[in-house]
């Protein structure tokens, strides 16, 4: 059993470091988001161009993981984590000193590539140490704790922007990343024994990813996460313009609205962690699929009746609450269906689907701005409808590759 090779105290420390790294990665978006509506005037550009700093960041985040996964399987989790966090710190500083919108876009692309290291390593490390229902509990706990960051991040970012300007948010982020890097350098142990590491061969990497993409059960589960993240990042990218520019919400208060959405996800994850032992991973995943699909349609209802900051936040909060069970169980099911592949490679492809969905969601609202909330409503509701279709495919027994729960 995987968890037997690292004692409880060490596992707890590893999880804390992974949570800190994930928090830093999330802050790279959430500290920055409240400043988006103010950057077109600062750089002399338009909202569409500024929003590309979000969409292209997510695209780089998604694609870079395809490299980090095999590297983690070859050289171990610790080394890749340390080098990745060092690169993350450098790219954040580059963003802070950007003089043009083009420089900021390039810095954000490089930042996404570096920040994506933590996503792969977190999934791989949890998979190294935990299995089955215990793994689902850890993913739920991880999601609950990490969700506190997007609750606090936009609030902090709004106040930092008003007090010190948009660059200060990146300097604060750089301090956080350097701190996580230092802690990891001193305290993070290796979770992948040398005997289990795989050779780094281009042909093997391409073949490995091709084989994973032919696993229908893995791909459909990964797509459900991509659809959910796509809807969330469509909101993160577009909401500052809707709430601040259209509805006149003060920048310093924008984060309070997002905090309610994050709190809803926290509660959904908490409930998921409490009931997974009773109903099993597969049934809880089904709950997440159905509830996420139906609740996502509330956003288009809110916009149809003339959204307000309160009604839009309420609709997204219900959607986020429903996603708690999905995010707790989907990684567990995905890993169960590809047990014969390197966990780093599997984690990389799974996270690529997630953040690729995020990039597409952000790109959709970036390319379709019309001054209203309709592009956001269409994106979230469309993703919710597809979530039901893909989720039901993922639950088909012939694609599961593992026994069903009770």
Q: Quick check: helix, strand or coil at residue 188?
A: coil
Domain interval for residue 207: 2-189+202-400
Would 197 be classed as within a structural domain?
no
Q: Each residue of 210-225: pLDDT tens digit?
A: 888 888 888 999 999 9
Would 406 be classed as within a structural domain?
no
Would 290 be classed as within a structural domain?
yes
Listed as own residue / partner, the contacts of 194-197 with beta carbons closer than 8 Å and 24 or more positions apart are 194/76, 197/73, 197/74, 197/75, 197/76
Place of tokens 């601040």: 244
Would 153 be classed as within a structural domain?
yes
314 neighbors 90 (Cβ within 8 angstroms): no
Would 195 be classed as within a structural domain?
no
The rounded distance, in Å, linking the Cα atoms of 219 and 208 is 14
What whole-number percentage of the chain has pLDDT above 90? Answer: 50
Q: What's residue 178's pLDDT?
A: 96
Q: What's residue 403's pLDDT?
A: 41
Tell how many helices (H) and how many strands (E) occur in the chain: 17, 0
Would 60 be classed as within a structural domain?
yes
Number of domains, the chain: 1
Q: What is the mean pLDDT of the chain?
A: 87
CA angle, residues 323, 327, 333, in degrees to nearest 5: 130
Interhelix angle 132-146/309-336, nearest 10 degrees: 150
Element (H, E) at 203: helix 202-213
37 neighbors 326 (Cβ within 8 angstroms): no
Enter the tokens of residue 305: 């009746």
Considering only 53-62, 82-91, 202-211, 316-325, which range has the smallest mean pLDDT? 202-211
Q: How confident is the model over 246-253, as a mean pLDDT?
A: 91
Show Cβ contacts of residue 289 under 8 Å, excluding neighbours closer than 6 positions: 224, 326, 387, 388, 391, 392, 394, 395
Q: What's residue 8's pLDDT?
A: 62
Q: Each residue of 278-336: pLDDT tens digit?
A: 888 889 999 999 999 999 899 999 999 999 999 999 999 999 999 989 988 888 888 88
Q: What's residue 6's pLDDT?
A: 65
264 neighbors 148 (Cβ within 8 angstroms): no
pTM: 0.79
- The CATH code of the domain that includes 358 is 1.20.1250.20
CA angle, residues 161, 166, 167, in degrees to nearest 5: 130
Confidence of residue 5 (pLDDT cuts 50, 70, 90): low
29 neighbors 54 (Cβ within 8 angstroms): yes
Would 386 be classed as within a structural domain?
yes
Confidence of residue 4 (pLDDT cuts 50, 70, 90): very low
pLDDT for residue 201 is more than 70:
yes
Q: Pick the more confident residue, 196 or 391.
A: 391
pLDDT for residue 406 is more than 60:
no
Confidence of residue 147 (pLDDT cuts 50, 70, 90): confident
> Could you give phi then psi for residue 366, rounded to 5 degrees?
-70, -35
Would 251 be classed as within a structural domain?
yes
């Amino acid at each position: 059993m995987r968890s037997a090779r690292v004692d409880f105290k060490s596992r707890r420390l590893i999880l804390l470091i992974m949570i800190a790294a994930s928090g830093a990665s999330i802050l790279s978006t959430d500290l920055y988001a409240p400043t988006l509506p103010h950057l077109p005037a600062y750089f002399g550009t338009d909202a569409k161009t500024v929003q590309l700093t979000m969409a292209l960041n997510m695209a780089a985040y998604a694609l870079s993981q395809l490299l980090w996964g095999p590297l983690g399987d070859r050289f171990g989790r610790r080394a890749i984590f340390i080098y990745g966090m060092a690169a993350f710190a450098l790219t954040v500083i580059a963003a802070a000193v950007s003089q043009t919108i083009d420089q900021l876009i390039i810095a954000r692309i490089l930042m996404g590539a570096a920040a994506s290291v933590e996503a792969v390593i977190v999934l791989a490390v949890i998979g190294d140490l935990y299995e089955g229902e215990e793994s689902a509990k850890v993913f739920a706990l991880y999601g609950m704790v990490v969700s506190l960051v997007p609750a606090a991040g936009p609030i902090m970012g709004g106040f930092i922007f008003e007090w010190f300007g948009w660059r200060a948010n990146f300097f604060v982020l750089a301090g956080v990343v350097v701190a996580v890097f230092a802690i990891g350098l001193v305290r993070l142990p290796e979770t992948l024994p040398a005997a289990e590491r795989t050779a780094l061969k281009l042909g093997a990497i391409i073949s490995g990813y091709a084989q994973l993409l032919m696993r229908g059960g893995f791909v459909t589960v990964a797509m459900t996460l991509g659809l959910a993240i796509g809807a969330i990042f469509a909101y993160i990218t577009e909401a500052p313009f809707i709430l601040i520019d259209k509805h006149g919400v003060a920048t310093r208060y924008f984060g309070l609205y997002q905090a309610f959405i994050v709190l809803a996800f926290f509660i959904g994850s908490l409930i998921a962690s409490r009931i997974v032992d009773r109903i099993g991973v597969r049934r809880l995943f089904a709950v997440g699929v159905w509830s996420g699909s139906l609740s996502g349609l509330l956003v288009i209802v809110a916009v149809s009746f003339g959204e307000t900051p309160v009604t839009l936040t309420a609709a997204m909060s219900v959607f986020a609450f429903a996603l708690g069970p999905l995010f707790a169980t989907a990684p567990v099911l995905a890993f169960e269906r590809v047990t014969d592949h390197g966990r780093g490679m599997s984690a990389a492809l799974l996270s690529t689907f997630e953040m690729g969905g995020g990039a597409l969601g952000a790109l959709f609202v970036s390319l379709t701005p019309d001054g209203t909330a309709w592009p956001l409503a269409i994106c979230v509701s469309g993703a919710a409808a597809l979530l039901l279709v893909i989720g039901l495919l993922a639950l088909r027994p012939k694609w599961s590759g593992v026994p069903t729960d009770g």
